[in-house]
Amino acid sequence: MDKAKEVINKKWKKIKKRTKEISLLRYIKTNILFITYVLINLFASWILRIVTMENYFSFPAMVGDLAFILVIGAFAYLVKPKNQIKILMPLTIVMTLICVINAVYYENYVSFASFSLLSTASFLGDMDGGVVTSLIHLKDIILIYPPIVLLVVHLLLKKKDYYKKVELIERGKKRFLNTAVLAVIAIFVTFMLMQPSDYSRLKKQWNREYLVQRFGIYVYQLNDAIKSTQSKFTSLFGYDTASKVVRDFYDEKAKTDTTNSLTNEYTNIFDGKNVIVIHAESIMTHDMTLSFNNQELTPNLNRLASEGLFFNNYYPQVSVGTSSDTEFTFNTSLLPSSTGTVFVNYWDRTYEAIPGLLKQKGYYTASMHANNASFWNRNVMHETLGYDHFYARDSYDYSNEDTIMGMGLSDKEFFRQSVEKIKKINSEHDKFYLTLITLTNHTPWDDEDKYGDYSVDYKYTTTDENGNTVEKSLPYMEGTELGRYFKSVHYADSAIGDFINELDANGLLDNTVVVIYGDHDAKISKKEYRYFYNYDFETGKQYSKDDERYVDVDYYNYELNRKVPFIIWTKNSKGNPVLNKTIDKVMGMYDAMPTLANMFNFDYKYALGHDIFNVQDNIVVFPNGNWVTNDMYYNAQKEEYKLIKDSVVTDEQINKNKAYANKLLEVSDSIIVYDLEAEGKYEEKEK
């Protein structure tokens, strides 16, 4: 009896197993198009993480992407099988665009794209076609495969009359519900995998890379779309909470942080002097350390740095607004907005900015840039910042085609024509504050024939078989993107040198302070830098990773190399013990305004940065939540850090800086979104 029962049980198990196999096989055979849709889009998101963050596997991200794919795809079951392609194809195209756009954006900006960038897409029309196409790489094109695969599968199924057969047995509503249930399970798992801090990160959207790692690209983009839309009307709600956050921050700051109210040897040192600010496109501090064939890459910047105040640990703090973010942070000491860009999305606010503050002291303020006035919305935002006039493209002569380089007028011609404007301004006004924004050193650096004869190859002498001395060369950086950039930098440096000389020849430096800053790094890939650092000058090839001489350019090397020069120079600063020195303290773009305010004697209320001469342990907070101090660089995406120098840091210090960084981001965003600088708006609300 027991033996018979055992036989029956075995047979029953086999039947059940066979039934399941048949059921699963039947499901696969009758859902080929939908399964293809799921797999190709899930695979595309995985490939994206590999080519951007080199994140080869993240279970939470896979689950998050799967949940998104299932939720939006389930609705295809509500139509007939032959019409499902009409739903699944548009969805696949959208997800493909998300992957491609983010791959291109990450390659050039080491961050993920935002829907708020749609408002800036018109700027691409102002760029040369080469600038746009240079942003796209082969691996980005590979990501367009999903719609192609889906179309091929659909055509093959259609050819075999697959849809007619499936239509006879498919129950669309039931499969819709089953898929929806599976999606809910995936969503539940996603939430179960979330850590407590993930909720606030989703809300704030600062740490884009972390969000993609934890939730996948599709969930990140959905969340970003909601946040970007929210920014359009969020100022209608939450005012009281935002105003309290800002009020409490500045009340506490007044009690505990008095650094910006202290005097030092630089207090009022430039009071009443003219100011010429050079916003140097894509110039990096690293450039100033390089020479090729015994010729300095940036001899003019090096000279100015050696004769004036040179801040060699100065970091840009840009987000999606790149150059415009730098202009904003440099002038206001606030951080870029977490959604969109201030110049485009929040231009109609009141900001405490250097041009406006100096205008109150009787300065004439103007900006000069030989690009279209509407680019980055400068035509309206510069007025908001307090500039009296903006000399844009229509103020410059473009008639000579030989002076056109890259995106517009060459830097040398721009500076030459600007000197004439400065002479007129100087004759009509007692004192002035001018910002000149350069253009030539903007990617893609394709005008090599116009950059001059600066060579980035490797020249050396040797002897031939007859004992004669001959000069030879290895290509080294010639023909590379980084090499073209170096040639462009050398040209831009030469243009700055000519400009300084022309100002001096016209007597415009006698009562003038020249301020130079790089707006952001060149955003060139790690691969290019690895080639640069690992070139074997004996063989003309690159060191292998196994070679002990190999230098790896990892995440931290790359981030720490993003520093840009900040120079404050006067004609007579050389040899002056106060005005001729190098400052090694870590410093951010938001520290410029408080530092200059102390020097030029103007007051402010809302700066987030510090007068660098009054602070010892400074911290630079980046828009993605990362931060850097004199001792360490903290990666908020992975919650890890790298020591910059041999020092001891405690968990208490790290947690304190993390909290401070998050608070700064929250305060800055609150000020921008709710227009809290308008006549001390948050203070009036309290009264």
Peptide bond into 316 cis (omega under 30): no
Whether the pLDDT of residue 236 is over 90: the answer is: no
Phi-psi region of 604 (alpha: psi -120 to 50; beta: other; left: phi over 0): beta
Share of the chain above pLDDT 90, in %: 60
177 CB-near residues (< 8 Å, 6+ apart): none
| Cα separation, 316 vs 419, whole angstroms | 28
Sorted by where each begins, the domain ranges of the chain are: 31-233, 260-454+481-613
Whether the pLDDT of residue 219 is over 90: the answer is: no
657 CB-near residues (< 8 Å, 6+ apart): 619, 627, 629, 634
Q: Per residue in 345-384, pLDDT tens?
A: 899 999 999 999 999 999 999 999 999 888 888 999 999 9
pLDDT of residue 169: 57
**Distance between first and last Cα of the chain:** 91
225 against 123, higher pLDDT? 225
Q: Which two tokens stand for residue 433?
A: 């504050």
| Residues belonging to the chain | 687
pLDDT of residue 109: 60
Question: Which CATH architecture fits 260-454+481-613?
Answer: 3-Layer(aba) Sandwich (3.40)
Query: 3-state SS of 260-285?
Result: HHCCCCCCCCCCCCEEEEEEECCCCH
Give yes or no for a contact between 444 and 483, defined as CB atoms under 8 angstroms apart: no
pLDDT of residue 132: 47
Of the listed ranges 235-239, 241-245, 619-623, the least confidently predicted one is: 235-239
Give yes or no for a contact between 343 and 327, defined as CB atoms under 8 angstroms apart: yes
| Cα separation, 388 vs 629, whole angstroms | 37
Q: Which two tokens stand for residue 455?
A: 């060579």
| Cα separation, 592 vs 354, whole angstroms | 10
Give CA 156 to chain center in angstroms: 43
Q: Per residue in 601-647, pLDDT tens?
A: 999 999 999 999 999 899 999 999 999 999 999 998 888 999 998 88
Q: Give mean pLDDT, residues 565-584.
A: 97
| Cα separation, 445 vs 287, whole angstroms | 15
Give yes or no for a contact between 559 and 586, defined as CB atoms under 8 angstroms apart: no
Banded pLDDT at 127 (limits 50, 70, 90): very low
Which letter does DSSP use for residue 43 in this model? H
pLDDT of residue 168: 54
558 CB-near residues (< 8 Å, 6+ apart): 110, 526, 529
Strands (E), 89-223: none
pLDDT of residue 439: 95
280 CB-near residues (< 8 Å, 6+ apart): 438, 441, 492, 496, 516, 517, 518, 519, 564, 565
